[in-house]
Amino acid sequence: MFKKILVANRGEIAVRVIRACKESGISTVAVHSDVDADSMHVRLADESICIGSHQPQNSYLNISALMSAADITGAEAIHPGYGFLSENAQFAEIVTKHGIKFIGPSSDLIKKMGDKIEAKKIAKENGLPVIEGSINNVESVDEAKKISNKIGYPVLIKAAGGGGGKGMKIINKPEELEKLFSMAKMEAKKYFNNDNVYIEKYFKNPRHIEVQVLSGKNRTVHLNERDCSVQRNHQKLIEETPSPVIDEKIRSNLLKQTVKMVEKIGYEGAGTVEYIYQDGKFYFLEMNTRVQVEHPVTEVATGIDIVKEQIWIANKGDTTLTQEDINTRGHVIECRINAEDPSKNFQPSPGIIRVFHQPSGFRTRVDGAIFQGAKITPYYDSLICKLICHGRNRNEAIQRMLRALDEFVIEGITTTIGLHKKILIHKKFIRSDFDVNWLAKEKFY
């Protein structure tokens, strides 16, 4: 097994990876920007090294600085976490050429699946249903009009090189197309340095379902699905497993087809295949070639440590798991807690945490990197921790989550804890009668 791993990330995911390494007897190296010197991940690691200033491009996105840190500390492998460089094919290639193991799939697969147009082609070639629309980069407004007229409005323009709602525009009628097409391309260029876009049929009331996989040279296994349909502007807020809206026949077909595709492309590591689900049918959306924010939902339901398995596969090539090893139990819900003010259009809320108490108790887990006195800076993503609750059934999981949220005390900054409470007691959430656009329609904030 690896003796030393550098964690090329920060915050709660860096803490999560460091914990998995420690339990595996592996030394860890934390990297940090100047403002993160006193952060939890730095405190927990065996070694730490400053890689630059608070601007991400000067630190956590600085490949040269990261490689220098790996050289100086003698790290044998790099775990990228999620975000930052985790799906950067160039970074994975440089790490590999440098004789250091990148804990993730090959740079070639990261590149292919990171390009949404290419990923859609691969999914279609391997038998997955895809959303009707373009299969290549749409270069002109005239081409966009032809495709949109063919599949029918409303349509969705999406950036080929990224996600998170950037470069994404909903076109409800032909008159809107020219302006929003140009805006989508401009955003795509700005955020992803790639102005390629594609067009798909827009689903008005879909659910967002994703399948967690672990894949080695020997086999691919699925760890069942997650339902991530409680979203704001394409950003997930609450995730759960199993999905309360798909039956066993649909679930079995979805899982089987996903495993088949992942095996065929020769994927290695942890990955997630995401789908749109509406009217009893699912359609391929994208594949994330990394561990996801919501991976604890699956870990709690299955008892499988996904991060440890990632590290094992990177070191040995094979997965130790068989499909028979995967047994889910009960229902699990995760709430992402952000340092944001929902009443002010989710404006970030940086500051110092003056008072802090996190919940505990039966089947209650908190993944975070915060503590009393911690500084929440405005330079990075506003996610500060995740609360995960497990119940015998969905109702018990909801009740346990409400109890745990009531116990959570974070003073000094504004958080989304209050919003989560409102969502969990809403009759539509309790009935699971919602879709990805529900929050905006209900006006929770």
Q: Report d(CA 79, CA 270) in Å as an integer.
A: 12
Q: Homologous superfamily of 207-442 in CATH?
A: ATP-grasp fold, B domain (3.30.470.20)
**pLDDT for the residue numbered 318:** 98
Q: Can you tell me the mean pLDDT for 176-202? A: 91
Q: Can you tell me the mean pLDDT for 332-356? A: 97
**pLDDT for the residue numbered 167:** 84
**Does the domain made of 4-103 have the CATH classification 3.40.50.1110?**
no
pLDDT at 4 over 80: yes
pLDDT at 164 over 80: no
Whether 1 and 75 have beta carbons less than 8 Å apart is answered as: no
pTM above 0.85, yes or no: yes
pLDDT tens per residue, range 391-445 = 999 999 999 999 999 999 999 999 999 999 999 999 999 999 999 999 988 877 6
**pLDDT for the residue numbered 144:** 95
Where do the domains of the chain lie?
4-103, 132-201, 207-442
pLDDT at 136 over 90: no
Q: Is 152 helix (H, G, I), strand (E, B) or coil?
A: coil
**pLDDT for the residue numbered 215:** 98
Copy the structure tokens of residue 390: 């497990």
pLDDT tens per residue, range 36-58 = 999 999 999 999 999 999 999 99
**pLDDT for the residue numbered 177:** 94
pLDDT tens per residue, range 147-159 = 999 999 999 999 9
**pLDDT for the residue numbered 444:** 76
pLDDT tens per residue, range 230-268 = 999 889 999 999 999 999 999 999 999 999 999 999 999
Q: Report d(CA 239, CA 332) in Å as an integer.
A: 8
Q: Report d(CA 370, CA 110) in Å as an integer.
A: 31
Whether 222 and 323 have beta carbons less than 8 Å apart is answered as: yes
What percentage of residues in the chain have a pLDDT greater than 70? 100
pLDDT at 162 over 80: no
Copy the structure tokens of residue 219: 């086999």
Whether 187 and 167 have beta carbons less than 8 Å apart is answered as: yes
pLDDT tens per residue, range 93-117 = 999 999 999 999 999 999 999 998 8
CATH for the stretch 132-201: 3.30.1490.20
pLDDT at 205 over 80: yes
Could you write out the DSSP letters of every residue in 5-32? EEE---HHHHHHHHHHHHHTT-EEEEEE
**Angle between helices 107-114 and 116-125 in degrees, nearest 10:** 100
Average pLDDT of the residues of the chain: 96
pLDDT tens per residue, range 368-397 = 999 999 999 999 999 999 999 999 999 999
pLDDT tens per residue, range 272-291 = 999 999 999 999 999 999 99
Do 4-103 and 207-442 share a fold?
no
pLDDT at 312 over 80: yes
Q: Report d(CA 227, CA 335) in Å as an integer.
A: 12
Q: Report d(CA 241, CA 394) in Å as an integer.
A: 9
Residue 47: closest CA among 67, 76, 18: 18
Phi, psi of 394 (to 5 degrees): -65, -40
Burial class (CB in 10 A: 0-12, 13-18, 19+), 233: exposed
Q: Residues 6 or more apart from 23 whose CB is under 8 A from it?
A: 305, 308
pLDDT band at 193 (very low <50, low <70, confident <90, very high): confident
pLDDT band at 85 (very low <50, low <70, confident <90, very high): very high
**pLDDT for the residue numbered 161:** 82
> Would you please indicate which residues are annotated as catalytic (active-site) residues?
290
